[in-house]
Amino acid sequence: EDQVTQSPEALRLQEGESSSLNCSYTVSGLRGLFWYRQDPGKGPEFLFTLYSAGEEKEKERLKATLTKKESFLHITAPKPEDSATYLCAVQGNTGGFKTIFGAGTRLFVKA
């Protein structure tokens, strides 16, 4: 069964303090690994799609990387506006290509 585990559950950083969020996954035939950002009271907002091990994507202070078993979301010099819940999801090639989400990492960045 496809599964996604994210760590840590919560992360508190000072502004400018770089760190990484982890997403470990098991999936039958990876079609894509997705990162989303979710603000309170809003739906998840798409950030990145990664398709194969070794791939990297960047957007402003965020960089996502992918291996065969996990993905990392690196946050460089975060700002308070980066505070949100970051969700990881995978889509496998079985069972109607369902997209399965992890529980998320809540990030708090203090000025």
Partner 1 sequence: EAGVAQSPRYKIIEKRQSVAFWCNPISGHATLYWYQQILGQGPKLLIQFQNNGVVDDSQLPKDRFSAERLKGVDSTLKIQPAKLEDSAVYLCASSLDHFRTDNSPLHFGNGTRLTVT
Quote the least distance from Cβ 37 to partner 1, whole Å.
11
Is the Cβ of residue 23 or residue 109 nearer to partner 1 in the bound state? 23
Give dist(CA 48, CA 65) in Å, integer: 10
Is the Cβ of residue 22 or residue 111 nearer to partner 1 in the bound state? 22
- Mapped onto helix, strand or coil, the DSSP state of residue 80 is helix
- Mapped onto helix, strand or coil, the DSSP state of residue 81 is helix
Angle at 3 between CA 57 and CA 9, to 5 degrees: 70
Q: Which of 23, 45, 31 is nearest to 103 (CA)?
A: 23
Quote the least distance from Cβ 70 to partner 1, whole Å.
16
Is the Cβ of residue 41 or residue 54 nearer to partner 1 in the bound state? 41
Quote the least distance from Cβ 35 to partner 1, whole Å.
10
Quote the least distance from Cβ 66 to partner 1, whole Å.
15
Is the Cβ of residue 17 or residue 101 nearer to partner 1 in the bound state? 101
DSSP lists the bridge partners of residue 6 as: 23
What radius of gyration, in Å, describes the C-alpha atoms of the chain?
14
Which residues form the interface with partner 1 (CB under 8 A)?
Answer: 4, 6, 31-32, 34, 36, 41-46, 49, 87, 89, 91, 95-104
